[in-house]
Amino acid sequence: MFELLLVFTILLPLFGAFFSFWFRFGLATAISSSGSLATSIILGISHKIGTPPITMNLSFINVYMDELSLFFILVVNIVALFASFYTLQSRKGTSLREDYSQSKFHLWFNLFHFTMLTVLVMDNLVVLWIAVQLTTVSSALLVRHSGTRSAAEAAWKFLIITTTGVIFAFLGTILLAYAYYATLEDLSKQKPELLDLRWSLLAHPGTINQSNYNILVVSFLLVLIGYGTKAGLAPMHTWLPDGHGEAPAPVSAMLSGVMLKTAFYAILRFFTIAWLNLGEEFILNLLLCSGILSLLIATPLILKQQYKFKRVLAYHSLEHMGIIAFGVGIGSKVAIFGALLHALNHALTKALMFLVYGHIQDSYHEISHTSAGRSAGRSRYEAGNDKHIRGVWKKMPVVGTVLTGGGLALVGAPPFSIFMSEFIILGAAIQKFQDGPPNGPPDLQHWLLVGAIPLYLLTLTLIFGGLVGHISRLLFDSTSAGRSVGREGSEFETSRYDVTSADRLVKVGYARLRFFSFGSLLLLMLISGLTIIRWPLDLPELLNESARIVLEGSQPR
Amino acid sequence: MGLNIENLLHAVVLLIAVVLILMAVAISSRDNASRMITDYKIQALLLFLLTIFTALELGDAVIGFLALPPLVMLVLIRALLAQATVVTSGITVWQRLKRAFFESIRPNGQPFGWSWKSRPSPRLAATIYPAKDRTIEEATIRWLRATDNRDSTLSVAFSFLALALAYFFAFSLIKNQPDVANNLAVSLSLVLIGLLIMLRKKDIISQIVGLLVMEHGMFLAAIRVLRIPSLSLLFVISLFLYLGITIVMLVYLLPELDRTSGSLMIEQQKILREEYKPEASLQQLLVPENGWPKGE
């Protein structure tokens, strides 16, 4: 029963890919995503927390789903649902068939969704590596979808940086396997099941010999570098602004909202193994430092004037990945609870921002598609500058409101959800600092926290200011760009718009779906800012159990 | 320690490892993409042999399958890289792959050596050579000229530094098994030198060669460090997938990069940098005074 639900959850996007590509039936994406979300919610309700994880074995594919996986599956599916509503684009006439490039987009979008779900349920760490690598391919092909020069460049950069990074993760996996096999004595006499490099076998204290501890440390370091490249942690983040900035809006939402989190999920799995076996603060300090470094690097980049708002959002993702890494690096159960909650909140908020901004871009883009300014408009659009998007509040009141709400949520203003998770992490950090090490003199982490907590507060405040500046420029500033134009501008006023994608959207009625997704995301954020959702899923219990799994591994409670 | 077959095999494997590193250093010092690719081919051949030897040594047939990826790359590398600048108007990825394969065994339609037909049949020719396209040879000439790489002496110095680092690191990590430590050191140094190549070269073709050298290091680690038969199938599958990804990248993304930017130099691929500002005239042309769309 559970197995069937899990199989449906994972395979539905694959069906979506087939139907949307083969029959050019774009609605299949939305249908399969909602189906996948529905089955995963049913799975979450029916699978009691604390019961043994769901496992399935198909030769080398070992499916293993515990509460941590379930939580991340829910995050992926929620964001994928709203993004898939957004992918419903224009249609020619009344036919439901889409053109070839559009159906290719749907194909890769669904495969991207599918590969991310597979990352979350793979027990074998080598298969996990394959799945992470497959997410890279599908998302790179989505990033280049618009076919412009900048998109090709961004896809190239994304692919080459993450592929290089993932090689290090592979080396880390190999070293972990080496340490594990060095511990098992006389390999030929062991059961074959024990020889697989499975997380559920490794995540116990004492699976790795004391003599191999330095190998384990190096392995975790390599994995942190490797998957950290995909998760967008600090020194390896350089693909983030390009990839997020050039991708179509729903893809940006998926990349920033969930792909970074799935890579971080891989880091969490390795973290559990290293933490349980070493039990040292060193592993925690590593994550803590990388989180603070991400925050420090993100701050000046957000404060700086960027030529594209999506790049600001991308750097903001860097900041939030830093916060999540910082939360895990504190190492207490409350902090990990906060970090996981933050992953959910950030996914929802960032998805909303990318989708709303994509809608605004679509609407403003109509101007450049008038018959008069077509050629010039194309080249402006390719240049990627969006200084022309100003005064949204006046032109588009409803979208302006949503953008304001999303922006406030994103900077961490009180009634919204991100404030809560940031506050939980801060509280946990202070708690950890006050408690100090259980016995003996203050250790390294104590002193690190002395520096880290003020830095955390300082960077959050600075980023608050920077982002509010960017968003208010977007919303209210109608002077700077609008007034400094030459006479050519008047041409656009009189000419009728061509029937463009956004126009057709309104006619067909899919714009309403977009607004539905904006509204429900905003509502979800507001509700989860006031309280942690307990219905239909008991989210606090789920998060508690996930935090326990991160800290204590796979043994039963 | 007599001269038996195991010791001989062992010595050969060690020798191959040394030559693998030397080839990586050579690639990092080349200023010519053609020679770089030749070095890469030698490396791939050696890796192929090494994999076969390892399969014989362990008596594991599955590891023998791992010898296929280096062999495929050895045959296809030049044609695949040439795909970057071949004009690919309206042919599918599958056709491009087929064409890359046929042109790599029969450059410019000229038969050589072991080809089973002197000319491709008209139907085959129609599918693999659509009209008006640049041939692989012409394309190769174009990007071979494009390379302009940095000081090679410094590259060699850096490579040897990376080599020393890798050996120090591996031997301080794995103390009781010098054989495994050596293998780890070789694979780590291949990875580091590959990274160095990617950082120092100025054109995309050389960067890809660097990535492929890193991939060789990864292969070596999978084959020589672990030696667990039960995992080998998984590694075969994962490395095959990795190779597939590289090919997708080459066949799908590179021509587009070349088509849109008109160059394969890294300098030309920087329009996304912050400093980039579009021309003011274009910007002014496009911003109307108050002609924004009304409502949603």
pLDDT(B228) > 70:
no
Q: Cα distance from A282 to chain B (closest Cα, Å)?
A: 17
State residue B85's pLDDT score: 67
- Please tell me which of the candidates A153, A373, A484 has its beta carbon nearest to residue B272: A153
Chain B residues with CB-CB distance to A174 below 8 A? 221-222, 225-226
Best probe of the B interface among A61, A148, A170, by most B CBs < 10 A, is A170
Is B257 within 8 Å of A152 when comparing Cβ atoms? yes
Closest CA to A343 of A413, A264, A233: A264
* pLDDT higher at A42 or A396: A42
Is A167 within 8 Å of B188 when comparing Cβ atoms? no
State residue B280's pLDDT score: 40
pLDDT(B115) > 60:
no
Number of domain units in chain A: 3
State residue A534's pLDDT score: 83
Shared domain for A105 and A150, answered yes or no, is: no
Could you tell me if residue A91 is inside a domain?
A: yes
Distance CA B11, CA B13 (A): 5
Is A164 within 8 Å of B221 when comparing Cβ atoms? no
Best probe of the A interface among B180, B186, B234, by most A CBs < 10 A, is B234
State residue B214's pLDDT score: 93
Chain A residues with CB-CB distance to B239 below 8 A? none
Is A306 within 8 Å of B274 when comparing Cβ atoms? yes
State residue A363's pLDDT score: 73
> What domain range is A15 assigned to?
1-121
A223 near A169, Cβ under 8 Å? Answer: yes
Is B269 within 8 Å of A153 when comparing Cβ atoms? yes
pLDDT(A32) > 90:
yes
Closest CA to A12 of A96, A89, A118: A118
Q: Which of these three, A222, A247, A279, is where a domain ends?
A: A279
Shared domain for A323 and A471, answered yes or no, is: yes
Chain B residues with CB-CB distance to A167 below 8 A? 191, 214-215, 217-218
For residue A178, how many C-alpha atoms fall within 13 Å in the half-sphere facing its CB? Answer: 31
Portion of chain B with pLDDT greater than 90, in percent: 22
State residue B145's pLDDT score: 55
Could you tell me if residue B296 is inside a domain?
A: no
Q: Is the peptide bond before A397 cis (omega within 30 degrees of 0)?
A: no
What type of residue is B281? S
Angle of helix A149-183 versus helix B254-261 axis, rounded to 10: 150
Chain B residues with CB-CB distance to A194 below 8 A? none
State residue B141's pLDDT score: 59
Best probe of the A interface among B265, B268, B289, B294, by most A CBs < 10 A, is B289
Distance CA B226, CA A170 (A): 12
Buried/exposed code over A220-229 (b: 16+ C-beta within 10 A; e: otherwise)? bbbbbbbbbb
pLDDT(B59) > 50:
yes
Could you tell me if residue A129 is inside a domain?
A: no
Q: Which of A462-476, B55-69, B105-119 has the highest mean pLDDT?
A: A462-476
Could you tell me if residue B213 is inside a domain?
A: yes
State residue B203's pLDDT score: 80
B273 near A475, Cβ under 8 Å? Answer: no
Out of A332-336, A386-390, A464-468, which region has the weakest mean confidence (pLDDT)? A386-390
Could you tell me if residue B189 is inside a domain?
A: yes
pLDDT(A28) > 60:
yes
Is B245 within 8 Å of A384 when comparing Cβ atoms? no
- Rounded to an integer, the average pLDDT of A519-531 is 88
pLDDT(A60) > 80:
no
Shared domain for A367 and A463, answered yes or no, is: yes
* Res. A92 pLDDT band, cuts 50 70 90: very low
Q: pLDDT tens digits, residue range A190-212? A: 777 777 888 988 888 888 888 88
Distance CA A175, CA B185 (A): 12
- Please tell me which of the candidates B234, B253, B256 has its beta carbon nearest to residue A124: B234
Q: Cα distance from A214 to chain B (closest Cα, Å)?
A: 7
Residue of A nearest to B177 (CA): A182
Q: pLDDT tens digits, residue range A474-493? A: 888 765 444 333 333 333 33
* Res. B113 pLDDT band, cuts 50 70 90: very low
Chain A residues with CB-CB distance to B173 below 8 A? 214-215, 218
pLDDT(B279) > 70:
no
A62 near A4, Cβ under 8 Å? Answer: no
State residue B222's pLDDT score: 86
Chain B residues with CB-CB distance to A376 below 8 A? 282, 285-286
Q: How far is CA A438 from CA A274, A435, A548, in A?
A: 20, 7, 19
Please state the pTM of the whole predicted model: 0.88
Out of A228-232, A278-282, B9-13, which region has the weakest mean confidence (pLDDT)? A278-282
Could you tell me if residue B126 is inside a domain?
A: no
| Residue B264: both structure tokens together | 């394969």
pLDDT(A495) > 60:
no
Shared domain for A470 and A323, answered yes or no, is: yes
Q: Cα distance from A101 to chain B (closest Cα, Å)?
A: 13
Is A196 within 8 Å of B231 when comparing Cβ atoms? yes
Shared domain for A295 and A265, answered yes or no, is: no
State residue A320's pLDDT score: 95
Could you tell me if residue A127 is inside a domain?
A: no
Q: Cα distance from A195 to chain B (closest Cα, Å)?
A: 7
* Res. A291 pLDDT band, cuts 50 70 90: very high
Could you tell me if residue A492 is inside a domain?
A: no
* Res. B121 pLDDT band, cuts 50 70 90: low
Could you tell me if residue B193 is inside a domain?
A: yes
Residue of B nearest to A214 (CA): B173
pLDDT(A241) > 60:
yes
Is A484 within 8 Å of B237 when comparing Cβ atoms? no
Could you tell me if residue A154 is inside a domain?
A: yes
Portion of chain A with pLDDT greater than 70, in percent: 87
State residue B182's pLDDT score: 92
Shared domain for A378 and A433, answered yes or no, is: yes
Could you tell me if residue B128 is inside a domain?
A: no
Could you tell me if residue A386 is inside a domain?
A: yes
Could you tell me if residue B256 is inside a domain?
A: yes
Distance CA B5, CA A184 (A): 30
Q: pLDDT tens digits, residue range A317-339? A: 999 999 999 999 998 999 999 99
Out of A158-162, A457-461, A536-540, B285-289, which region has the weakest mean confidence (pLDDT)? B285-289
Is A174 within 8 Å of B292 when comparing Cβ atoms? no
Shared domain for A335 and A303, answered yes or no, is: yes
- Please tell me which of the candidates A133, A245, A482 has its beta carbon nearest to residue B242: A133
State residue A93's pLDDT score: 40
Q: How far is CA B77 from CA A540, B36, B149, B243, B250, in A?
A: 53, 11, 20, 12, 10
Chain B residues with CB-CB distance to A384 below 8 A? 271-272, 278
DSSP class of residue A56 equals: E
Residue of B nearest to A242 (CA): B272
> What domain range is B46 assigned to?
5-87+134-286
Chain B residues with CB-CB distance to A373 below 8 A? 285-286
State residue B31's pLDDT score: 77
- Rounded to an integer, the average pLDDT of A128-146 is 91
Chain B residues with CB-CB distance to A513 below 8 A? none
Backbone angles phi, psi at A55, to 5 degrees: -125, 145
State residue B104's pLDDT score: 64
State residue B278's pLDDT score: 45
Shared domain for A225 and A299, answered yes or no, is: no
Could you tell me if residue B164 is inside a domain?
A: yes
Is B283 within 8 Å of A147 when comparing Cβ atoms? no
Complex ipTM? 0.86
What is the CB neighbour count within 10 angstroms for residue A241?
25
Shared domain for A203 and A307, answered yes or no, is: no
State residue B244's pLDDT score: 82
pLDDT(A497) > 50:
no
Out of A22-26, A142-146, A354-358, A546-550, which region has the weakest mean confidence (pLDDT)? A22-26
State residue B195's pLDDT score: 94
pLDDT(B34) > 60:
yes
Distance CA A153, CA B204 (A): 11
Q: Which residues, 6 or more positions from B220, have their beta carbon under 8 angstroms from its beta carbon? A: B17, B20, B47, B50, B183, B186, B187, B190
Portion of chain A with pLDDT greater than 90, in percent: 48
Is A177 within 8 Å of B237 when comparing Cβ atoms? no
How many residues in total does chain A contain? Answer: 557
Chain A residues with CB-CB distance to B256 below 8 A? 144, 147, 152
Is B231 within 8 Å of A379 when comparing Cβ atoms? no
State residue B291's pLDDT score: 41
State residue B224's pLDDT score: 84
- Interchain CB contacts (distance < 8 Å): A and B: 201
pLDDT(B142) > 80:
no
Shared domain for A445 and A547, answered yes or no, is: yes
Number of domain units in chain B: 1
Q: Which residues, 6 or more positions from B242, have their beta carbon under 8 angstroms from its beta carbon? A: A133, B215, B218
Is A493 within 8 Å of B284 when comparing Cβ atoms? no
* pLDDT higher at A508 or A101: A101
| Residue B99: both structure tokens together | 């064409």
* pLDDT higher at B57 or B17: B17
Is B286 within 8 Å of A377 when comparing Cβ atoms? yes
Helices (H), A331-414: 333-368, 374-383, 392-395, 397-411
Residue of B nearest to A218 (CA): B173
Shared domain for A111 and A166, answered yes or no, is: no
Shared domain for A254 and A331, answered yes or no, is: no
- Rounded to an integer, the average pLDDT of B200-223 is 88
* pLDDT higher at A303 or A479: A303
What is the CB neighbour count within 10 angstroms for residue A234?
20
* Res. A374 pLDDT band, cuts 50 70 90: very low
Q: How far is CA A405 from CA A159, A343, A353, A472, A521, in A?
A: 34, 19, 9, 12, 10
* Res. A362 pLDDT band, cuts 50 70 90: confident
Could you tell me if residue A495 is inside a domain?
A: no
Q: pLDDT tens digits, residue range A151-175? A: 888 999 999 999 999 999 999 999 9
- Please tell me which of the candidates A167, A376, A515 has its beta carbon nearest to residue B286: A376
Q: pLDDT tens digits, residue range B150-161? A: 677 888 999 999
State residue A490's pLDDT score: 35
Chain A residues with CB-CB distance to B221 below 8 A? 170-171, 174
Backbone angles phi, psi at A124, to 5 degrees: -75, 130
Closest CA to B109 of B133, B135, B86: B135
Q: Which of these three, A84, A105, A121, is where a domain ends?
A: A121
Could you tell me if residue A487 is inside a domain?
A: no
